[in-house]
């Protein structure tokens, strides 16, 4: 399970801001967060993790 929304909000990023930093469409972020696209590409996830300043493992880690 991805923790994208949780991490994005904790860092104070809107979807718009993260989409610009990561170079992915805002709709892509929304689809990932809403589990419409539960299996985004590796490249997309790398871009998002880099923009958030975290590792892929942190993004995928289960919620506590």
The mean pLDDT values, 10 residues at a time, for the chain of 64 residues are 88 97 96 89 96 92 59
The 10 Å Cβ neighbour count of residue 7 is 19
In angstroms, the CA 39 to CA 9 distance is: 21
pLDDT of residue 21: 97
Residue 64 lies in a domain: no
Residue 28 lies in a domain: yes
Domains in the chain, number: 1
- pTM for this entry: 0.88
Residue 30 lies in a domain: yes
Contacts of 58 (CB under 8 A, 6+ apart): 3, 7, 49
Q: What is 11-63 written as a DSSP string?
A: TT--HHHHHHHHTS-HHHHHHHHTTSSSS--HHHHHHHHHHHT--HHHHHSPP
The enclosing domain of 54 has a CATH number of: 1.10.260.40
Q: Which domain holds residue 54?
A: 3-59
């Amino acid at each position: 399970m991805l923790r994208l929304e949780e991490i994005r909000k904790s860092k104070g990023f809107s979807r718009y801001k993260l989409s610009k930093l990561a170079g992915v469409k805002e709709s892509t972020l929304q689809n990932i967060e809403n589990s419409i696209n539960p299996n985004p590409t590796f490249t997309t996830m790398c871009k998002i993790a880099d923009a958030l300043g975290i590792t892929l493992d942190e993004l995928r880690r289960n919620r506590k």
